[in-house]
Amino acid sequence: MEWPEDFAEDHAFVELLVPGVSSDLDFEQLMKDTEEKLNLNANSIEQQLKELQAKIGDSRTAERPLSPTEWLQWFSLKTQQSVRPVTQGHQELMDFFRALQQYLRSEEESKEEVTLQLLLNLSSQCGICFPCNHSSSSPLSSLHSQLTASSIQLLHTVREDASLEIQEVWDDVRLQLRRYLMDRLFSRSPDLPGPRQTTDLSILERVQCLQQMFFLYPESEVLQLYQGLKRQYVLGILHSTLSASQIGETGFDRLAMGFCSMVPILSQALKEELHVLSALAEPQTILGFINEAYLNTVATEFASLMERECETAHRDNTAPSVKTKKYSVRSRATVAPLELPTKSRSFSLTSHQLRALTQLACTLLGFESDVKELVTNTIFIDCTGDTPPIKGILKKSKKDSDNTTESKKSTTETTKAKVLEFNWRSAFKGLVPHMEHCVKVVLDNVCAKNLQQEEELHSSGHISVSLSLITRPTFNTASNTHLREDTFSSYSETETPRMIAKFCGAIMTEMDALLPLAAACNESSLLQVRSSFIESCGRAAFAMLGRLQERALEVPSSAPLKNLHALLATCIYVHQRLEHYSARLKDSSTAAAKITLTPLPVQKYKDTVEAMREQLTSYCIQACYTCILQDAESHHWADPKPFYEGERCSFSVQMWFYFLCGLRSDLWAVLPAELARDVLGQVLTDTLQLLVRRYARARASYRRHLQIRCDITAMLLYVEHLMWSLCESPETLVRYNPSSVITIIAGGSDWPYQIHNLCEQLLTVLVIVTAPLSLLHRTFMIDAAKETSPDPPTIPVIRWLNAINPDVFTEQAIRDGLMGQASLACQLRLLTSDPGCNPKLLLQMLLYRDCHLPRILLENSYFSQENSSEMSTESCKAGDDFMISLFNLFSCLNIVPKALTQALQPYLERAHIWEHLYTLADTTRTVPVVVSCVRDIVTKSTNSLLLHLVSMVLGWQATEEPGAALFKHTVPENVLAKIPKDWNYTPLDVKGKDTVAKTIISLAIQALSFIFTNLPMAVASLPLPIRFLFQVAEKHLSQHARQLRLVGLLIWALLGCLIQGLEDPDTLEQISGLALDRSAKDRLSLLAECVQAAIGIQQKGVPKPSVHKVIQALEEKRPKWTQLQLQKARKLCSDSVFEQGSERGLAAAELTEQKIGLMLLEVCHKAGGSSYLRQIYHIIQGNESAVVDWAWDWARLLPAYQGMSRVTFRALLANRWEMQEGAQLEDGEKAMVEELEKAFLGCCCTPGPQNPPEADETPGKQAQGKTQPSASDEGSTP
C-alpha cells in the first residue's frame, strides 16, 4: 500500500469506540483500519529515514538493512558531523549576542517571539547549536560543568568554553527569553485573587513553550523551573478554595470543604499536565514531576494546615486546668505534623470534628484513586508500587539512596522505578491518639444512646419495632467516589433489605460514616485508629445482636409477628455491612493486614439470621396448623346439612389465604426480595401439604361433598394468585424444571416445583371425589373398556393451571410454553407481583412480540393524544422522561438492533418524525424529545472528529503562524547585520497571499481527507439500533431520494451534524475547551463548505474558488477515493444491521438466558442504565391490570386421569359420598356405584366411617358466589 505522504493525519487514532456488542462487520472494519494505520505508520518511518539518508548524502551500503534504532543513531551522528564549524572570532559572536540583548531590552512588540524564531531558524538552517548549559543560578550548573569538562568537544558547535563575557551576554539573552516563556506559562489571572494562576494556554501551546525552553536550557533545569511554577499553582488553588469556604466554616470543617472543592480542579489540572508532559518526557520523569509538583505540595501544605487546626482544636477543646505551654509548634514547611504524647491527652476531639476528619480522609482517598487512574491511563505504566514497572528493577529505599555518591546517584536515577507518593496520611499522625479515643467514644456513645432510646420506647408500651428505610445517600461532589464505595457493598438490590430496625440503622450509619477514616489509616503509625474502629464495631455489633435476639424471643408471646420480619431484615443488613467492613479493611500491607475485623461477629450474625428465618417460617406454619386451618364447623363432613347452602368455601381456607397475603405484604416491605420469596414459598408449600392430606382423606356426605369441590377450587385459585409472586419467569410458572428433582434430593428447595405437585394432587382429589358420578363411570368403566388409556407423558405436565384458567394456560402453553398475548400478560403479571424489580424479566418483557408492551405504553401516553397541547406541564415532563428512558435503554441493545425501531415506529409514523431525522443537524427548530435523543448520540460521534480537527488547525497555527510573526514584526536590520557571515544565514522571504492561500488549501485537503478516512469508523461507533432506525427512516423519505442517493440518511445526518459543528464557534470552543481566534474559525468554516461540496449539499451563495480547489486537489491525489469511503461507510449502515438481525435473532423466544444477560450487562454498564430500567418498571406498575377467568370442564378433565395410579384412584373413590353407608341413590346411580366398587374396591361393602373432623371453628369471609358450584351441578356437565 502506498503511503499518502501529505495526509499523515488520516491515520491518527481518534476516540471512536465500537459498541461492546456489535456486528462482525463493524469489528472487521475496526481491525482493518487499525492494522492499516499501524502498517502505514511503520512504512512512513522507514520512508522518512530513507529520505533523510538521501538528503544527508550517505553512500554507505550494508549487507543487511539497518533497523530504525540503528538509523536514528546513525542519523544523530551524521547530523552532528554535517554542521559547519564556527570559525569567526569571539568579537563577531559577541556583537551578535549584544545586538540580541539590546533588541530584547527595547520596547518593540513581539520581540521575544521574533528572537526565538530567529534562533530556531539559525539552528535549523545553518546548523548552529547554541549553548544549552545550566544557568549559573541553577544548582545543577556545577555538576553539569564537571560532566561537560570530560565530554568530547564537538567541532561544529559554538564553543562553550568561550570567554566569560560572551557567556554572560548569552545568559542574559536566555534569561529574558526564559522570563517571557515563563510568563506565558504562568501569568496573573484577573479572575482569581492572590497568587498567579496558569493561563488558558492549550496543551499544544504549553508543549511548544516548554520545547522552546528546552532549546535554551537543559531539560532537567526546565522541568525544575516548571515544577516550581506548578507548585505555586497548586498552592494558589488550595488557598483560594480555602478562602472561599471560610464563610460560616471553621476548623476541620473548613479544611474538609476546601479540599472537597479543590480536588476536582486539581484533578482536571493534573489530567492536562499529564498530556503536556507525556509529549516531552519519559514516564519515570513524569512520575517524579507529579510527585514533587502536585502530590508532595498537597501533602506538605495539608500537613501545615492540619497542624494549625490542631493548635486551634487544642486551644478550644482543652479544659482551663490543663497546661498547654509545653505544646510546641513546628514549622509550616514540615511534612510530618506535631506528634502529641499519648500518656496524657491534652484535648479531645468532638464527634463533629471527627466527622470532618473523616470527610477529609474520604476526599483524599478519592483524589488518590483518581490520580492513579489518570496516570495509568495516560502514560500506561504501573504507578501504584504494587509491582515494579520493569521486571528486575527494585525500588530503592531513601536510606540507601542517601548513602550513594552524587555520580552514582545520577547514573542509577534513570533505572530506578518511581511510584506515586501519597504522603497526606502523615498529616494525621499528630491526631492518632485523639482520633483513636474519639472513634471509641463516638461509636460507644451512639450505640449506648440508641439502645437506651429503644429500651425506653419498648418500656412505654410501644411493642412494634420502629423501622427506617434503607436509602442510598447522595453526595455533592465527584471527589466522594471513595465514600460511595464505602457505603455500598457487593450485594445486589434483591439481596439487600428494604427496611431495618431504626435503632440499628442509626448505629450503622455512624459506623458507615467512620469507615473511610479507618480505611485511610493503613500505615503503621495510624493503625491505632483502625484498631479502635474495629474494636468499637465489634462491641456495637454484639450489643445490637443481643438486643435483636432479645426482641425476637418476645414474638409471638408479647410482640406481633411483623417484628420478626424487621428483626430478621436488620440482622441481614448488619451481617452484610460487617462482611463489607472486613473486605474493605483488608490491606496488602503486612502491618495493616493484622488489624482487621475478626470473623466471630460475622459468623454470629450469620447464625442468627438462620435461626430467625427458621423461627419465622416455623411460627407461620404452626400458626396455620394449630389455629388458622382448624375449622370444626367447616370440616364436619358427615353433617347432613350443607355448609352455608353450598355458597361459600370453608372459613379456614379463606383465612389461610388472607394470612398468606398479609405475610407476603409484610415480607415484601422489609426483607430482601430473594429471601421474602423463599420464606413465602416454604410457608405456602408446608401448609398446602397439610391441606392436601386433609382433603385427600375427607369423606363428605351428599350435602357436604360440594363443599370439598368449592374448597379445592378456592385453594387452587388462591395458590395461582400467590404463584405469580414466587416464580421468576413464565417458564417456571407453566413448566416443570428438570433439575428441580436433583435440587430437592441434594437438600435444596424449589418451591414452585413442589407447589405444582401439591396442586396436581388437589386437582386429582377434586376430579375423582367431586366429579359427576355419571361422567366418572363413563370415563373409567365404559370409555376405558373401549380404548386403551393414554400413555403418561414422558415429561410431567402441569394440568391444574389449565384447569382453572384454560384461556391463558392453554394445553399448548403448558406443553410448549406461553406465547402470544398470553405470554405478554403472564410476564406483566409476574413483573408486577415480584418483590422487587427483576431486570431480566423486565427486559425480556419489553422485547417480547416485537416490543408490544412499549408500543402500548406509548399509545396511552401524551405522545399519541390528539390534543397533547392541553396536557399539563407535569404530564408532558413525565412523558418526556419515559421516552428518554425508553430510548436510552433500547439504543444500547445491539443484540436486537430492530427493537428500538419496533418500539417507536407507530409513534414515529403518527407524529411524522421521519422528516426530523433528515434535518437532524438543524438546531434552530424545536423538535420532539426523541429527535433530541437521536441527535445526542450522533453528535457524540462527530464531536470526536471535531476535537481532532480543532487540534489540527491549532497545530497548523502553532507551526506556521510563528514564522509569519517573524515577518509581521521583522527582525531589525542592526540584528541581521550582526549575524556572523560564516553562518551563511539567508532571511526567509515574506510569505505572500498566494503562499498563505496554498497553505490553507493544503490544510483543508488534509482535514477533508481525515474526515473521510474516519467516516466508516464514525458510523461503526454508532449503536446498531440507531443505524437500523435510520435505515427504516430512509424508506419513508422518498421525497429526498435524490439527495440521499449518494450517502444515505445516516451519513447525511452525521455529516450534517459535523458541518453544523464546524460552522458553530461556540460548539467548537465547548468541545475543545479552547478559545479560537478568527483565523482558526475561518479555516474550520472553509472545511465545512468543503464537506458540503463533497456530498452534494447545495451551498448558500456563490461557492468559494478555494472550495473547488480543495475538492479537485483531493480527487487528483486520490481518484474516486471519496466515493469509495462513502460506500464503505454506507455498507455499515445496512448490511451490518441485517447480518446482526438474521444471525442472532429478534424474537423473545430466541433470546436465551445468556443473551438476556449480555444485554442486561450492556445496559447496566451504560451511564444511567439501571435507573432507566427502574423508571420503566415503575411506569409499568402503574398501568398493570389482570383478569382471571376459569371454569371446570369435566369431560375434558376426566380422560386425563385414566392412567392414574390404581391405588390412588381407589382411595379417592372410596371418599365419594355415593360410596358412603346409607347414601340415598337412585337405581341408575346404584348400578354405577356397584360397578365401580366391583372394579376398583374389590367388594360391594361400603367403607367404614370417616375420621372425626379436626380443630375448632375459625370465622371467615364469604367467597365470591359466582365461583362456587351448587348442588345442581351434581349431574351436569358444564
pLDDT band at 1187 (very low <50, low <70, confident <90, very high): very low
- Examine the pLDDT at 689 and tell me if it is beyond 90: yes
Residue 585: CA count within 13 A, CB half-sphere: 30
In whole angstroms, what is the distance from residue 605 CA to residue 489 CA? 17
Looking at residue 177, its pLDDT comes to: 92
* Single-letter residue type at 363: T
- Examine the pLDDT at 996 and tell me if it is beyond 90: no
The SS3 call for residue 792 is coil
In whole angstroms, what is the distance from residue 1221 CA to residue 1248 CA? 8
Lowest-pLDDT range of 10-24, 97-111, 1024-1038, 1137-1151: 1137-1151
In whole angstroms, what is the distance from residue 426 CA to residue 36 CA? 51
Instruction: Please write the tens of the pLDDT for every residue from 147-177.
Output: 333 333 333 344 444 568 888 888 899 999 9
Looking at residue 148, its pLDDT comes to: 37
Looking at residue 509, its pLDDT comes to: 93
Looking at residue 608, its pLDDT comes to: 96
User: Which is higher by pLDDT, 284 or 836?
Assistant: 284
- Identify the H or E element spanning 469: strand 467-469
Looking at residue 36, its pLDDT comes to: 72
- Examine the pLDDT at 594 and tell me if it is beyond 90: no
Percent of the chain with pLDDT over 70: 70
- Examine the pLDDT at 967 and tell me if it is beyond 70: no
Instruction: Considering only CA atoms, give the Rg of the chain.
Output: 42
Which residue blocks in 460-598 are alpha helix, DSSP H?
481-487, 502-520, 527-553, 562-584, 590-593
Looking at residue 330, its pLDDT comes to: 36
User: What is the mean predicted confidence (pLDDT) over 34-42?
Assistant: 72
Identify the bridge partners of residue 73 per DSSP, sorted by sequence position: none
- Examine the pLDDT at 1094 and tell me if it is beyond 70: yes
User: Which is higher by pLDDT, 49 or 684?
Assistant: 684
User: What is the mean predicted confidence (pLDDT) over 425-452?
Assistant: 92
Looking at residue 4, its pLDDT comes to: 44
Q: What is the separation of C-alpha 1044 from the centre of its chain, rounded to a whole number of angstroms? A: 38
pLDDT band at 278 (very low <50, low <70, confident <90, very high): confident
Looking at residue 1273, its pLDDT comes to: 37
Tell me the whole-structure pTM to 2 decimals: 0.74
The DSSP output letter for 500 is: E
pLDDT band at 390 (very low <50, low <70, confident <90, very high): very low
User: What is the mean predicted confidence (pLDDT) over 1020-1042?
Assistant: 88
Looking at residue 1200, its pLDDT comes to: 82
User: Which is higher by pLDDT, 1165 or 1115?
Assistant: 1115
- Examine the pLDDT at 382 and tell me if it is beyond 60: yes
Q: What angle do CA 560, 563, 566 make, to 5 degrees?
A: 160
Q: Domain spanning 929-961+987-1147: which CATH class is it, in words?
A: mainly alpha
The SS3 call for residue 186 is strand
Lowest-pLDDT range of 617-626, 1018-1027, 1262-1271: 1262-1271
- Each domain of the chain, given as residue ranges in start order, spans 8-82, 88-140+157-204, 218-318+331-395+413-422, 439-470+482-619, 633-799+1197-1273, 929-961+987-1147
Q: Dig out the grid coordinates for 391 from the structure.
A: 521486571
- Other beta carbons within 10 angstroms of residue 1142's beta carbon come to 9
- Examine the pLDDT at 592 and tell me if it is beyond 50: yes
- Identify the H or E element spanning 238: helix 219-244
Identify the bridge partners of residue 501 per DSSP, sorted by sequence position: 467
Residues 6+ apart with CB under 8 A from 60: none
Looking at residue 1129, its pLDDT comes to: 87
Looking at residue 989, its pLDDT comes to: 59
Looking at residue 484, its pLDDT comes to: 46
Looking at residue 23, its pLDDT comes to: 60
Instruction: Please write the tens of the pLDDT for every residue from 329-349.
Output: 333 333 334 444 444 445 678
Instruction: Please write the tens of the pLDDT for every residue from 197-237.
Output: 444 677 777 888 898 899 889 999 999 999 999 999 999 98
Instruction: Please write the tens of the pLDDT for every residue from 864-923.
Output: 666 656 667 777 787 788 888 889 888 888 888 888 999 998 888 888 889 999 999 988
Instruction: Please write the tens of the pLDDT for every residue from 975-990.
Output: 888 888 888 888 765 5
Residue with cell 444500547: 892
Looking at residue 450, its pLDDT comes to: 95
* Single-letter residue type at 436: E
* Single-letter residue type at 748: G
pLDDT band at 932 (very low <50, low <70, confident <90, very high): very high
pLDDT band at 66 (very low <50, low <70, confident <90, very high): low
The SS3 call for residue 718 is helix
Which residue blocks in 380-431 are alpha helix, DSSP H?
398-402, 406-412
User: Which is higher by pLDDT, 63 or 402?
Assistant: 63
Percent of the chain with pLDDT over 90: 23
Looking at residue 646, its pLDDT comes to: 61
Long-range own/partner contacts, residues 812-817 (CB < 8 A, 24 or more apart): 813/734, 814/734, 814/735, 817/730, 817/731, 817/734, 817/735, 817/1149
Looking at residue 334, its pLDDT comes to: 35
Q: What angle do CA 1100, 1103, 1106 make, to 5 degrees?
A: 140
- Examine the pLDDT at 1263 and tell me if it is beyond 60: no
| Average confidence score pLDDT of the chain | 76
Candidate ranges 54-63, 383-392, 1268-1277; pick with highest mean pLDDT: 54-63
pLDDT band at 328 (very low <50, low <70, confident <90, very high): very low
Q: What is the 3-state secondary structure (H, E, C) of 575-620?
A: HHHHHHHHHHCCCCCHHHHCCCCCHHHHHHHHHHHHHHHHHHHHHH
User: What is the mean predicted confidence (pLDDT) over 964-969?
Assistant: 51
CA-closest candidate to residue 271, choices 216, 326, 203, 320? 203
User: What is the mean predicted confidence (pLDDT) over 1129-1148?
Assistant: 58
Q: Do residues 951 and 204 touch, judged by C-beta distance below 8 A?
A: yes
Instruction: Please write the tens of the pLDDT for every residue from 251-268.
Output: 788 888 889 989 999 998
- Examine the pLDDT at 959 and tell me if it is beyond 80: no
Looking at residue 294, its pLDDT comes to: 93
